[in-house]
Amino acid sequence: MAPPSYYMILSAVLFCIGVSGVLLRRNVLIIFMSIELMLNAVNLAFVSLSRAWGSVDGQSIVFFVMTVAAAEAAVGLGIILATFRNRATVNADEINLMRW
């Protein structure tokens, strides 16, 4: 049996890979995917703790995270499409109109 701490470590590693994706890549879509990866790493932590403490609450939170991720994907991809239409780029460094 893998103890819960192993799941937590896996979750931390996945989360960090997600963070590195946000920091290293400049493609907006890949940054977005890395954010989804981070959300999933957190989900994994929730479910493993839910199992460790024998309580369903963690799974309920995962359910909410999924719904929020779905809404976020719909709006976020809409923003990416709208930006692409105006600036013809998906590079985060070139989307700099609001920057000073």
Partner 1 sequence: MPLWLFIFLAALAIIGAAGVVLQRHPVHSLLSLVMTLVVIAVLFIGLGAATVGFLQMIVYAGAIMVLFLFVIWLLNLQSQPLEPGHLALKFLGSLGSAALIAELLLFVVHPPPAITQNRAVAMDFGSIGRLAQSLFTDYLIAFEATSVLLLVGVIGGVALARRTTAGGGGAPGGTP
Q: Positive or negative CA dihedral for 83, 31, 49, 1?
A: positive
Encoded one letter per residue, x for contact with partner 1 by CB under 8 A and - for no contact, window 55-74 reads -xx-xx-xxx-xxxxxxxxx
Cα angle for residues 83, 67, 88 (degrees, 5° grid): 10
Copy the structure tokens of residue 34.
């890395």
Indicate the residue among 54 and 100 with the shorter CB distance to partner 1.
Answer: 54
Virtual CA dihedral for 30, 35, 38, 39, nearest 10 degrees?
A: -130
Encoded one letter per residue, x for contact with partner 1 by CB under 8 A and - for no contact, window 12-51 reads xxx-xxx-xx-xxxxx-xx-xxx-xx--x--xx--xxxxx
Q: Which residues bind partner 1 (CB under 8 A)?
A: 1-10, 12-14, 16-18, 20-21, 23-27, 29-30, 32-34, 36-37, 40, 43-44, 47-54, 56-57, 59-60, 62-64, 66-75, 77-82, 84-86, 90
